[in-house]
Amino acid sequence: MTIPNLTLNNEVVLPAIGFGVYQAEPEETTAAVQAALETGYRLIDTAAAYGNEREVGEAVRRSGLDRDEVFLETKVWINDFGYDETLHAFDKATGKLGTERLDLLILHQPLPGEFDLTIQAYRALEKLHADGRVRAIGVSNFMPHHLDRLLAETQVVPAVNQIEVHPYFRQSELLAYDDERGIRNQAWSPIGGITFYPGFGEYGKSTLADPAIGEIAAAHGKTPAQVMLRWHVQQGRQIIPKSVTPSRIAENFDVFDFELTAGQLAAIDALDTGVRGGPAPEDINRENFAIDVPEA
């Protein structure tokens, strides 16, 4: 199967689909990433805050693939924001992943209450990028007003903004903002997994059980998850579905042999509730969301 590539604003190329390891326990991460690489995934997304960078690196080594064949992406947590702190966060990440260079390094949250630290952290990313130690840099969970300030005070336009996007929370304004500035939207929770928790919206309902998505899936002989992933692909977003189950890992990868119609894309767009499943970026602070990221 040929997987389409996407080109970032600095000409770095990455696969349209990647593999995420959020909430994967360290002891199950290596096997899950190995299964993903065997399936054909070539982008692995992790983060300092996930606590499984070391296991991701081990899976890449066990795969037998050349380092250049695997696109490695990780994130700096807010405890390590600040110029020198972020440079050290790079050392911690590469030490755990077992690589000298990262393909994409992003700031995990905007940390709005201490945005001066965010600016300093991003300037550290710019330095790493200029030195060739990181091929591309970006952000995650940044809203337009965060990006306005970042763009005004730094030099390199983020290559990526990794954000919550799924049929129940499309973030259309943010998607358009990023597109207009050449920032690639990368969808976390692309099939709405975070909406499975009780209390999401009014009913805590799951996108996987949505009748409109189910009808489209039946029309194509695909699963609801595959339909949602295809929706992202056709709208130009990079996606990082996650699973530790080999059959699901393979299912999520099999989304490049069918095409949704314009009407089907619009029907999925219309499911947007405007309700965020994950924490609001404005609520993230170092007092309540502190994670001590250990040394390599």
Catalytic residues: 50
Return d(Cα 64, Cα 113) in angstroms, integer.
44
The residues near 266 (Cβ < 8 Å, ≥ 6 apart) are none
Placement of tokens 């966060």 in the chain:
89
Return d(Cα 142, Cα 119) in angstroms, integer.
13
Return d(Cα 204, Cα 206) in angstroms, integer.
7
Return d(Cα 288, Cα 45) in angstroms, integer.
24
Tokens of 266: 């619009």
The total of other beta-carbon atoms located within 10 Å of residue 296's CB is 13
Q: Is 109 exposed, middle or buried (0-12, 13-18, 19+ CB in 10 A)?
A: buried
The dihedral built from the CA positions of residue 37, 40, 42 and 45, taken in this order, carries a sign that is: negative
